[in-house]
Amino acid sequence: MNDKTKNSKLDTQIVGNIGMFYACYHLSLRGWNVMPTSRNARGVDIIAYNSSATEYIGVQVKTLSNRNAVPLGNSLEKIMGDFWIIIDKVSSEPRVFILLPNDIKGLAKYNEKDGKRSYWLNPQEYDQPCFADAWKSIGLGF
């Protein structure tokens, strides 16, 4: 990576693409056939199935340029997928954290302003040894 890339701020769409394809790469290495879904459409970011097409998973990917909070929106009811992959520091030293939707819901924080809630996941909540590089929790696609 050249100095210009390191020092310039990447567009959020590009950051998201980097994370999605990084996750696809790692899932493929573990034997999953992966298909990214339509960007910015409601739903999971990746659909993956094993080599015999007997197991399917939906994966939500959240990508961050730095070690920041993960925005979750205004309701935890929108939390979907079988697994969540959070990738921070994606353009320098990618770190991967793999959580279940119930982990996200249980660890989420919120703030209420003018009768509206906003949810997020703080870095200290997802950046834990039990979630770090926890690819085994997803299993093998073979």
Q: What is the pTM of this model?
A: 0.91
pLDDT of residue 85: 98
pLDDT band at 38 (very low <50, low <70, confident <90, very high): confident
Domains belonging to the chain, first-starting first, are 3-136 (3.40.1350.10)
Q: Rounded to an integer, what distance in angstroms lies between the CA atom of residue 34 and that of residue 117?
A: 34
Residue-wise pLDDT for 48-81, tens only, equals 999 999 999 999 999 999 999 999 999 999 899 9
Q: Which of 105, 97, 100 is nearest to 121 (CA)?
A: 105
Q: Using 50, 70 and 90 to split pLDDT, how confident is the model at 41? A: confident
Q: What is the pLDDT of residue 4?
A: 46
